Amino acid sequence: MRLFISTLFILLNPFISNAQVAPDWYKTFTGKAGNMNTTLHLTKSGENYSGYIWFEQNQWPMSFYYGGKIAKTDSISLEAASGPLSITLTGILDSAQFNGYSILQKNYKGSKKAAFHLGVSNDKTYTPMEYIYTTGSAKLPAKLKNESTCEYNAGTVWPIENNSAAIALKKEINKMLGTKSTSKEPSAWLKEEKNKFIKSWLKDNSKLTPKDASEMGMSLSVQMDNRILVMYENEHTITLANYDFSYTGGAHGNSATSLIDINKHTGKVIQLADVLTPEGIKALPVFLDKIARLQYGITNNKPLDQNNFFVKKIEPSKEFYVTSTGIGFLYPPYALKSFADGEVNLLIPFSALKTYLQPAFRK
CB 254 within 8 A of CB 245: yes
Which is nearest to 343 in space by CA: 321, 322, 323?
A: 321
Q: What is the C-alpha to C-alpha distance for residues 85 and 342, in angstroms, rounded to an integer?
A: 12
109-120 and 25-33 strand pairing = antiparallel
pLDDT at 221: 92
Q: Which residues of 292-317 are buried (b: 16+ CB within 10 A; e: fewer)?
A: bbebbebeeeeebeeeebeeeebebb
Which is nearest to 170 in space by CA: 190, 187, 185, 191?
A: 185
Per-residue pLDDT tens for 25-81?
Answer: 999 999 999 999 999 999 999 888 999 999 998 899 999 876 777 777 788 999 998
Maximal C-alpha separation, the chain: 68
Domain boundaries, the chain: 9-18+127-263, 25-120, 272-361
pLDDT at 178: 92
CATH number of 272-361: 3.90.640.20
CB 327 within 8 A of CB 348: yes
pLDDT at 8: 25
Q: What CATH class does 25-120 carry?
A: mainly beta
pLDDT at 206: 84
* Residue numbers of the chain with a pLDDT score lower than 50: 1-22
Predicted model pTM: 0.89
pLDDT at 234: 96
* ∠ Cα 86 152 176 (to 5°): 75
CATH number of 9-18+127-263: 3.30.565.40
pLDDT at 83: 77
pLDDT at 58: 84
